[in-house]
Structure 1
Amino acid sequence: MKKNWHTPFALALVLLFGLSLFYIGTDGFKAYTAETARVNSLIENQPQFPEVTFEDSKGRVYPVSEFDGKYVFITFMYTYCSTVCPILEMNMGQVYSQVPEEYIGEDIVFLSISFDPERDDPVTLAEYTGHFNADGDTWRMARINDQEELDSLLEEFGVVVIPYENGDFAHNSAFYLVDREGTLIDVMDYTEIGEAAERVNTILENDKGE
């Protein structure tokens, strides 16, 4: 009986076509999810921190140039969050504790940025700093009152924030590292505390050695 070679040939074509689509859709097999693709794009494009004005937990108001010449380790959160944000900030505190004291404040500042400025006023932010032993200086918690400025920053850094009717937000979470010139140079998994701390310390040590 003559074998039907059309079937395996057709299957091979379908498989090849599927792999091609997967390759394109996953940015060359590197991105298996939309979030991974977003992170890869951010790391590749390295956006600049846009001009924004902060108001922090101590009521101080200043532009982003306040951090010129320093690395900034950043999270995006809101204090009314009862799900991922407390874990995000707790993990941030663990990274903070693993950075040598000689670098803290001098070469790097930690910054938690609220995307809920209406509720996260300085008093609320000050209370929140106390939950994580943030000192308000080398680890600051701040809001951006101008909505256009806030939206610009969220868009530049690929932070997705979706409001719910009850006042909560759905959002992605990560650690963001900005260099001394205000350029985003890395986006890290907030659950990988040791890796994030090692990454930061390596950058600081190499920077000092240059």
Structure 2
Amino acid sequence: MIKNRHNTIATILVLLFGCVLFFIATDGFRAFTAETARVNQLMEEKPVFPDVTLEDNKGRKYPISEFEDKYIFITFLYTSCATVCPQLEMNMAQVYDLLPRKYIGEDIVFLSISFDPTRDDPATLETYREAFNSDGETWRMARIPNQAELDSLLEKFGVIVIPDGLGNFTHNSAFYLVDKKGRLIDVMDYTEIEEAAAKVTSILENEAGV
């Protein structure tokens, strides 16, 4: 009987210890994966878009303040990607089409940023723009030529980019929403198209007092 009691106590201690480890590993039960934990942290920190110089599909160079007083709906990609990036951009196009026209260009712009600036020059970005029927104005394709500036942005926004040595990258993918002050306010699942469009529309309508 004493042995059974000891076994019971030991089992309880193992379970408690396991719960503590699970709590720590899942960021307080809020995250079951590293990606979810990363998004949770971003939502708490709400980092500001760093000072970088963008070069778009038309070869124009400007800071992020080009879009001052507008929300920015962002994706990160590289044009040589044959896996998730085409789907990411097709989904972005659907979000674009689902938003009320009156907000496009006036209150929100779309921006696809390449993390492969060496290969993704303006001409390549222009070809990519055409493939997804973006207008190059309210939805632009851009790169950040300065690698240090690019790295700073990727780090602040929790974008993981790992080169495989063969010209490809392993990377996470999401929709990122930056507010009118340049602060990241949401990271959305890129596969949840209607949900993302509804969330952005709600934000725009609330600000407009609709």
Please give the TM-score of this superposition, normalised by the length of structure 2.
0.98
User: What is the aligned partner in structure 1 of residue 178 from structure 2?
Assistant: 178
Give per-residue Cα distances to partners, 1:101-132, cap 9 Å, x unaligned.
Answer: 00000000000000000000111000001111
State the one-letter code of the partner of 2:97.
S
Q: What is the distance in 2 between the residues matched to 1:48 and 1:56? A: 21
SS at match of 1:118: coil
Following TM superposition, where does structure 1 have runs of at least 4 consecutive aligned residues deviating by more than 3 angstroms? none
User: What is the aligned partner in structure 2 of residue 58 from structure 1?
Assistant: 58
Give per-residue Cα distances to partners, 1:5-26, cap 9 Å, x unaligned.
Answer: 1111110110011011101111
SS at match of 1:93: helix
Give the drift of 1:4: 2.1
User: What is the aligned partner in structure 1 of residue 44 from structure 2?
Assistant: 44
User: What is the aligned partner in structure 2 of residue 14 from structure 1?
Assistant: 14
Superposition CA RMSD, Å: 1.1
1:100 and 2:97 are equivalent in the alignment: no
Q: What is the distance in 2 between the residues matched to 1:124 and 1:130? A: 10
User: What is the aligned partner in structure 1 of residue 187 from structure 2?
Assistant: 187
Please give the TM-score of this superposition, normalised by the length of structure 1.
0.98
Q: What is the distance in 2 between the residues matched to 1:9 and 1:3? A: 10
User: What is the aligned partner in structure 2 of residue 202 from structure 1?
Assistant: 202
User: What is the aligned partner in structure 1 of residue 126 from structure 2?
Assistant: 126
Q: What is the distance in 1 between the residues matched to 2:5 and 2:178? A: 57
Give the drift of 1:2: 6.3
Q: What is the distance in 2 between the residues matched to 1:202 and 1:183? A: 18
SS at match of 1:32: coil
User: What is the aligned partner in structure 2 of residue 76 from structure 1?
Assistant: 76
Give the drift of 1:94: 0.4
SS at match of 2:111: strand
User: What is the aligned partner in structure 2 of residue 151 from structure 1?
Assistant: 151
Q: What is the distance in 2 between the residues matched to 1:125 and 1:13? A: 58
* Aligned residue-pair number: 210
Give the drift of 1:162: 0.4
Structure 2 residues without counterparts, runs of 5 or longer:
none
SS at match of 1:4: helix
Give the drift of 1:3: 6.4
Q: What is the distance in 1 between the residues matched to 2:191 and 2:2? A: 58
SS at match of 1:80: coil
State the one-letter code of the partner of 1:184.
L
